[in-house]
Structure 1
């Protein structure tokens, strides 16, 4: 190709290579419709009890929700609210509520805790039977449990200790469920959060049962997400630091563990009052390819659903905390989960973990339920041979992982992390569609129509293709077998909190929201310049004198329809790459077609005159021009001296300390992550 520059040829090859990728990462779907903050501001919302200064000043801080017999129970800080879902009044206000405040706030503060932590955060709210609820609260780092009537929220019986049934800190994870009259809970059992536990208690006539204490092989810094019964087992879904990947650092992985419902603990010699059936295996949600991309951080798991005619759970995963934010939804058939516990055990061999040969596994197989299957001849779990119990104690981890239904995620999203998941597997007139509702950390709600069932979806797992697997990933055209992002709803803006701005000129008034500080403000305002509340955000813009378009309950201003929207990152990157490619192509064509004659070199510049000692050397970019007037002699350089500097007076609050101008006015903000303003 004579006359064609090498750069032009390389650009053409680059375009050909990048234009037809072998297998690409799924593209983010484009929402078919969007709902902004201006529209959602009119949605019914619950802002606290009327006339209750505590909820108005501190916020609500919701912890748990439970839907039972047409009633929505909401557990919050110091309160439990009950909403009647059968009556649509256009507003959200509880039909009844109870107040449960701590009596140990002084001791909590003496132990070095902040005032906002020394409340009773209701972290457990589960039905005990058809008529009663079990509620457990942190109780200022002294957890307690109570039983309440479903109909009236009246207390029944005495309080019981919440240790191992409720965390000490509201930020610690907890899952709990009653199965066969026993409470299965998973949390931390001590004040320092060093003893993670899966615990069974409140069993009539039986002693409590728990996991092994302080064992990194059993549990390593877990964060529990879900608990559910299935068959003769109870399954726990959680994420933890992978002990088998310790050579790679602190890597989080998703797990599913199970215990037998008829487990009574081991013998007095081994695993007494400890689970004999505890096993765990990795839960894998990944994008296949030459290099597998994993979503390892488990965020949410649904209760059992019927997916394509088979019982399954849907789970929400994220990327590692220090990586690019991204999320994926994967479905797991419960039959596949159950089958994974029949795989080989794992054990450390040097710096790696390898499968245990089957001939070394004792019989009956560890993890079996007494009186069932291979352990049909064993009456109770305490009758297992010692070698089986010792092996179970040292080998709780199984080799391999549970793969998702279809081998790939149902939905992926990048740029922000998704944290909440709800599923409707019977959507549509025929009840044969699956809709995902996903909550993002930036205040958006995504409504996703999952791919329709493919003909191969009913085949046995292993080679099961994903629903719509033959389609191009990320294609959002309206056709059969494709995942669609139906709607994107903006519910709130987490970056407009007044207190989170840490701006000394901004203060929070419960009645007026975020306002500039002035001497004539009434008492009762709040500020968090030191950042002690641990929330983040900004205080942007200027606040108008009126608050007609603001939410006075939370101090939030919603932007109008003309609010500026951001350009998606993939679109921006694509435009930059396209502009670069087109510019380089045009440059190559211009260099080929237009040949300019060589420009003769200019004569060498005469040498410059010698500089005087007081002259400062200045680099020259162009030839010097003759001066119009003779230069004046410069004064002799003085030795460097540090001149005294007067101390500037401090500006009063509300004034700019730099120029004495009025301080920045701040737009009304939204309460922080802890439910406060």
Structure 2
């Protein structure tokens, strides 16, 4: 995409260029200043009641019935006669209604000033009685009073769904056809918004769908009006169809049928079957529409150009430019909007589209029984389930109600946030205040579009002390004859380049002055002393060519050369005791023992078969055979039955016998009298090594083994 020339961009940014200015506000026909109101009578409280004079009255609602003005306040209801003299303003009668249990309200975490009884509902029930409902310390109650004397009639009623719990929550109420229509919140947490009908003779109560964002989403109710066969509710709420844009407030008008009796036992039982709502649009037309969406107040029906209409006061979004507008709506246009298409969300996109007419069931959802397309339906409970189900899921209508004349009757947007709002179309002119920008403005105005740090006030601020020239916001002053402020472009560019060069120079000087010498490295550490090898847990493998293990054992380290024993963790399955050496292996059989055995075999009286060895050499169970008496154990048992990491040594014959000539001979098979004995510990022999070889030894069982018959048996002495 080709670049845009810089002069063209600067031309667009110049205020008042090609962009039209914001529409001028209409001037009111008459205004009354604050000083003029001091001449009017003022009501400051009851005579002799210092509490009302000191804490105020907290007016909640006003009602005019004939020549009497009823004022609902905190803990009181006042009645003023409008025909009295203007010099004094005192109530002709009043009612004091205080909450019964303030301690319980305080235990719920509420402040003391919230635990009063704020009278939020005061509506005429009939020609002679009034219905009053108060918060009653977050436990709402309702009473009936005589209009002439303010005397209570009947018993108290629960105020739930008829009066809010908190004085800051909205409420509208009216009587129509003997029934009370109210719109408020029905729970302590203010999460259940409800449009409710109660006190109906012979009819059950009806309410809106509970916890449904499509029906009501954080509403603030403003007005309730009966008109024709319907009751209309004006309110503002968070728009569910604009949820993709965040929390956007819109103005609504909803209606219900007076003869609505609820749905069938299957769908919308004791719920409104005729509830529908549509948007009220109060906006300034143009290429970009500017909306006033926050509904503040609505008047009762009045005649406008010979047609019934209502006047509504609107404001702007909380994060928008502050402003207000008055729009008029013909009630015929409101009724026509409820005949438009229904709206529904397009799957998963957040966009709401109109429902095709061929998908709308018959009779049309939201209509009154016995009227229009539902002429043949006797009561609302007789509607088909298809109609009731569609009405339950589609309470919102597509489109909006346009104001009378297509634009607001009155707007006011220039009274405030000017400088602080950084509005390019608003300037501060000392003689006239905040005015829209135009080419014919005199010089000397002030404007702040970039947000100067000193911009803290509004256009209505007064000059601060010490500002002789009348500066209010210390913003960018426009060129004027008294104090022209201009800066040449070459000077500005030179200042920027000089500042950059000066900063680079200072940075280099600081880096040079603050340079530190390199820190010498630490001398290399000497290599660690070699660690002695860990002692072996198992004997070395026997040398090749010595199957009998009869050679001399390998040379073992002397005690002086043996390094001190280290504490190591034993392997799993081993039992060891530190500091206890093992004896060396048994080695080959002693020569004296062999000669004694031969003497027994060949000596006089010998039978030629092995005999039982002496008692001193008898092999005990669990001990190795040796010619020496067994040495006492010096420690706990040591288990070496777990195979080592290295491969096991080659097996050698367990049964060894000597031929008559004294040479070793291999028996033909494994001797039955031989058994494998595991090492069970070592002796504390001085000079012994704890890890010597442990070859398998011969042991004699109690039963002599069966040896092969010799080829030549010596002749026994004394035998022929």
TM-score exceeds 0.5: yes
Question: Which of 42, 56, 60 is matched with 2:57 structurally?
Answer: 60
Distance verdict in 2 for CA 1:612–1:363, change over 3 Å: closer
User: In the alignment, which residue of structure 2 is the partner of 1:212?
Assistant: 209
Q: Does 1:370 align with 2:369?
A: yes
Distance verdict in 2 for CA 1:108–1:11, change over 3 Å: closer
User: In the alignment, which residue of structure 1 is the partner of 2:239?
Assistant: 242
Q: Give how far 1:87 is off.
A: 2.1
Question: Which of 134, 137, 142 is matched with 2:134 structurally?
Answer: 137
User: In the alignment, which residue of structure 1 is the partner of 2:557?
Assistant: none
Q: Distance in 2 between matches of 1:123 and 1:333?
A: 29
Q: Distance in 1 between matches of 2:29 and 2:211?
A: 50
Q: Give how far 1:572 is off.
A: 8.8
Q: Distance in 2 between matches of 1:395 and 1:31?
A: 42
Q: Distance in 2 between matches of 1:106 and 1:76?
A: 21
The structure with more strand, counted as a fraction of residues: 1
After TM superposition, the structure 1 = structure 2 runs for residues 293-372 of structure 1, keeping only pairs within 5 Å, are: 293-349=290-346, 350=348, 351-372=350-371
Q: Distance in 1 between matches of 2:43 and 2:168?
A: 23
Q: Give how far 1:322 is off.
A: 1.9
Q: Does 1:76 align with 2:34?
A: no
Question: Which of 89, 92, 98 is matched with 2:89 structurally?
Answer: 92
Is the deviation greater in 88-97 or in 398-407?
88-97
User: 2:21–2:437: 8 Å Cα contact kept in structure 1?
Assistant: no
State the secondary structure of the residue aligned to 1:338: helix
Q: Give how far 1:53 is off.
A: 2.3
Q: Distance in 1 between matches of 2:333 and 2:167?
A: 34
Distance verdict in 2 for CA 1:282–1:12, change over 3 Å: closer
Q: Give how far 1:38 is off.
A: 3.8
**Cα deviations by residue, 1:119-147 (Å, 9 ceiling, x for unpaired):** 00000000001100000000000000000
Q: Give how far 1:90 is off.
A: 1.9
Q: Give how far 1:36 is off.
A: 4.4
Q: Distance in 1 between matches of 2:329 and 2:298?
A: 10
- The one of the two structures with greater contact order (alpha-carbon pairs below 8 A, sep at least 6) is 1
User: 1:326–1:415: 8 Å Cα contact kept in structure 2?
Assistant: yes
Q: Distance in 2 between matches of 1:324 and 1:228?
A: 31
State the secondary structure of the residue aligned to 1:207: coil
User: In the alignment, which residue of structure 2 is the partner of 1:40?
Assistant: 37
Q: Distance in 1 between matches of 2:283 and 2:407?
A: 6
User: 2:61–2:73: 8 Å Cα contact kept in structure 1?
Assistant: yes
Q: Does 1:266 align with 2:269?
A: no
User: In the alignment, which residue of structure 2 is the partner of 1:187?
Assistant: 184
Distance verdict in 2 for CA 1:279–1:10, change over 3 Å: closer
| Matched positions, count | 448
User: In the alignment, which residue of structure 1 is the partner of 2:479?
Assistant: 579
Q: Distance in 2 between matches of 1:61 and 1:296?
A: 28
State the secondary structure of the residue aligned to 2:54: helix
Q: Does 1:224 align with 2:221?
A: yes
Q: Give how far 1:86 is off.
A: 1.8
Question: Which of 211, 230, 240 is matched with 1:233 structurally?
Answer: 230
State the secondary structure of the residue aligned to 1:126: strand
Distance verdict in 2 for CA 1:69–1:32, change over 3 Å: closer
Q: Give how far 1:42 is off.
A: 3.4
After TM superposition, the structure 1 = structure 2 runs for residues 502-581 of structure 1, keeping only pairs within 5 Å, are: 579=479
State the secondary structure of the residue aligned to 1:246: helix
User: In the alignment, which residue of structure 1 is the partner of 2:107?
Assistant: 110
| Structure number with bigger Rg | 2
Q: Distance in 2 between matches of 1:265 and 1:275?
A: 5
User: In the alignment, which residue of structure 2 is the partner of 1:153?
Assistant: 150
Q: Give how far 1:377 is off.
A: 0.5
User: 2:479–2:486: 8 Å Cα contact kept in structure 1?
Assistant: no
Distance verdict in 2 for CA 1:586–1:262, change over 3 Å: same
**Cα deviations by residue, 1:308-350 (Å, 9 ceiling, x for unpaired):** 1111111111111122211111111000000000111011112
User: In the alignment, which residue of structure 1 is the partner of 2:22?
Assistant: 25
**Cα deviations by residue, 1:227-283 (Å, 9 ceiling, x for unpaired):** 001111000000001111111111111100000011000001100000000000111
Q: Give how far 1:225 is off.
A: 0.3
User: 1:164–1:186: 8 Å Cα contact kept in structure 2?
Assistant: yes
**Cα deviations by residue, 1:490-530 (Å, 9 ceiling, x for unpaired):** xxxxxxxxxxxxxxxxxxxxxxxxxxxxxxxxxxxxxxxxx
User: 1:29–1:474: 8 Å Cα contact kept in structure 2?
Assistant: no
User: 1:316–1:329: 8 Å Cα contact kept in structure 2?
Assistant: yes
Task: Return the TM-score normalized by structure 1.
Answer: 0.61
Q: Distance in 2 between matches of 1:122 and 1:239?
A: 23
**Cα deviations by residue, 1:396-441 (Å, 9 ceiling, x for unpaired):** 0011111111111111112569xxxxxxxxxxxxxxxxxxxxxxxx
User: In the alignment, which residue of structure 2 is the partner of 1:275?
Assistant: 272
User: 1:27–1:474: 8 Å Cα contact kept in structure 2?
Assistant: no
Q: Distance in 1 between matches of 2:189 and 2:96?
A: 28
Q: Give how far 1:65 is off.
A: 0.3
Q: Distance in 2 between matches of 1:311 and 1:31?
A: 23
Aligned-residue Cα RMSD (Å) equals 3.8
Q: Give how far 1:583 is off.
A: 9.2
Q: Give how far 1:612 is off.
A: 14
User: In the alignment, which residue of structure 2 is the partner of 1:641?
Assistant: none
State the secondary structure of the residue aligned to 1:41: helix
State the secondary structure of the residue aligned to 2:103: helix
User: 1:226–1:238: 8 Å Cα contact kept in structure 2?
Assistant: yes
User: 1:26–1:474: 8 Å Cα contact kept in structure 2?
Assistant: no
User: In the alignment, which residue of structure 1 is the partner of 2:614?
Assistant: none
Q: Does 1:413 align with 2:432?
A: no
Question: Which of 223, 231, 254 is matched with 2:251 structurally?
Answer: 254
Q: Distance in 1 between matches of 2:84 and 2:320?
A: 45
Is the deviation greater in 42-51 or in 339-348?
42-51
Task: Return the TM-score normalized by structure 2.
Answer: 0.57
Q: Distance in 2 between matches of 1:261 and 1:186?
A: 15
State the secondary structure of the residue aligned to 2:320: coil
Q: Distance in 2 between matches of 1:582 and 1:291?
A: 39
Q: Give how far 1:580 is off.
A: 7.4
Q: Distance in 1 between matches of 2:304 and 2:20?
A: 27
User: 1:11–1:585: 8 Å Cα contact kept in structure 2?
Assistant: no
State the secondary structure of the residue aligned to 1:239: strand
State the secondary structure of the residue aligned to 1:106: helix
**Cα deviations by residue, 1:564-583 (Å, 9 ceiling, x for unpaired):** 899xxxx999x967537999
Q: Give how far 1:10 is off.
A: 8.5
State the secondary structure of the residue aligned to 1:579: coil
User: 2:322–2:413: 8 Å Cα contact kept in structure 1?
Assistant: yes
Q: Give how far 1:41 is off.
A: 2.8
Q: Does 1:390 align with 2:424?
A: no
Q: Distance in 2 between matches of 1:612 and 1:246?
A: 55
Q: Give how far 1:104 is off.
A: 1.3
Q: Distance in 1 between matches of 2:50 and 2:486?
A: 68
State the secondary structure of the residue aligned to 1:270: coil
Q: Distance in 1 between matches of 2:251 and 2:359?
A: 27
User: 1:84–1:95: 8 Å Cα contact kept in structure 2?
Assistant: yes
Q: Distance in 1 between matches of 2:415 and 2:98?
A: 36
Q: Give how far 1:28 is off.
A: 3.1
